[in-house]
Amino acid sequence: MNPLYTYIKQKLIAASYAETEASALARWILEEEFGFSTLELYAGKDTDFPMEKRNRLNDILVRLARFEPIQYIIGKTEFCGLTLKVSSDVLIPRPETAELVDWIVSDCPQSGLRVLDIGTGSGCIAITLAERMVEAEVSAWDISERALAVARENALHNNVRIAFSCMDVFNEPTGTSVFDIIVSNPPYITESERAEMERNVLDYEPETALFVPDTDPLRFYRRIAHIGNQMLKPGGKLFFEINRAYGSETAAMLKYGGYSQVEVRSDSYGNARMIKAIKR
């Protein structure tokens, strides 16, 4: 292996990273940040690495030692085959969110559908749906102007057109837009679940996009379901990413709230992680 790979891996192990994670990070840093080819990565000889790059590498290693996510350090991530900018203003897209997107695309093959993504963050859901769904007309809301700035940049980079709006879901929506699909990955982690979470999430990702009170874990789902009753067409579909601990409660809320054919689906790890409901 390249001596730089070995150096990075050893530094990360010394900073309490597991060996498998240290190996993956070392490979990602050299390939994504410094453009190493497979041949250069696995070569056993020194590579020309000027001082500017050595300073950048040392900065990366210092930040990783503080458990800052590599995606924020590098400033980008991959999602559903797309490259997206990320910063501490937005959540890092997760694999289970990609599974939700896959479900929507396979379940809604029609062309020209009108889609609304509520709480868009980096824009990962909206952008991927706009890229994959034929002639879809996609809108996206977020309460954070800083998050919307990231999402707009990602849409431009991936050559899709999305109507972004700064909206608080707890305000009454304006206008008369009617959608075929509303999707949301809202805050759903309860405060009592903080103790189970890793430092790289707690210390760096935006709290407002993560947490809800223990006393009202479904507050965003209930509110967005209400918006769906106003803004979905009859027979329109509502999709959520959900807290695996509240699948049955979320399903019951939707059935009581005017939706039918409610379906909870598990992710690839067997956790109840997404839900679909149809407006009656």
Q: The CATH number of the domain where 207 resides is what? A: 3.40.50.150
- pLDDT at residue 175 tops 70: no
Q: What is the mean pLDDT of the chain?
A: 95
Instruction: Tell me which H or E stretch contains 104.
Output: helix 95-107
pLDDT, residue 267, reads 96
One domain, residues 36 and 84: no
The tens digit of pLDDT for each residue in 210-255 reads 999 999 999 999 999 999 999 999 999 999 999 999 999 999 999 9
The total number of residues shown for the chain amounts to 280
Domain boundary among 44, 66, 88: 66
The answer on 27 and 86 residing in a single domain is no
Last residue of a domain, one of 17, 35, 66: 66
State the pLDDT confidence band at 43, using cuts at 50, 70 and 90.
Answer: confident
State the DSSP string of 53-64. HHHHHHHHHHHH
- Which residue numbers belong to the known binding site for substrate? 185-188
* 153: Cα within 13 Å, side-chain hemisphere: 16
Q: Output the pLDDT for position 256.
A: 95
Residue 42 scores a pLDDT above 90: no
Which residue ranges make up the annotated binding site?
119-123, 142, 185-188
Q: Could you tell me which residues are annotated as the binding site for S-adenosyl-L-methionine? A: 119-123, 142, 185
CA pair distance 188, 61, nearest whole angstrom: 32
The CA-based dihedral angle spanning residues 256, 225, 173, 117, taken in that order and rounded to the nearest 10 degrees? -170
H/E stretch holding 127: helix 124-132
Q: From CA 12, how far away is CA 204, in angstroms rounded?
A: 19
Q: Rounded CA gap, 120 and 162, in Å? A: 11
Q: Do the beta carbons of residue 64 and residue 33 sit within 8 Å? A: no
Range of the domain at 266: 76-279
Return the H-helix or E-strand segment holding 21: helix 19-28
Reported as a single tens digit per residue, the pLDDT across 72-93 is: 999 999 999 999 999 999 999 9
Contact between 238 and 259 under an 8 Å Cβ cutoff? The reply is yes
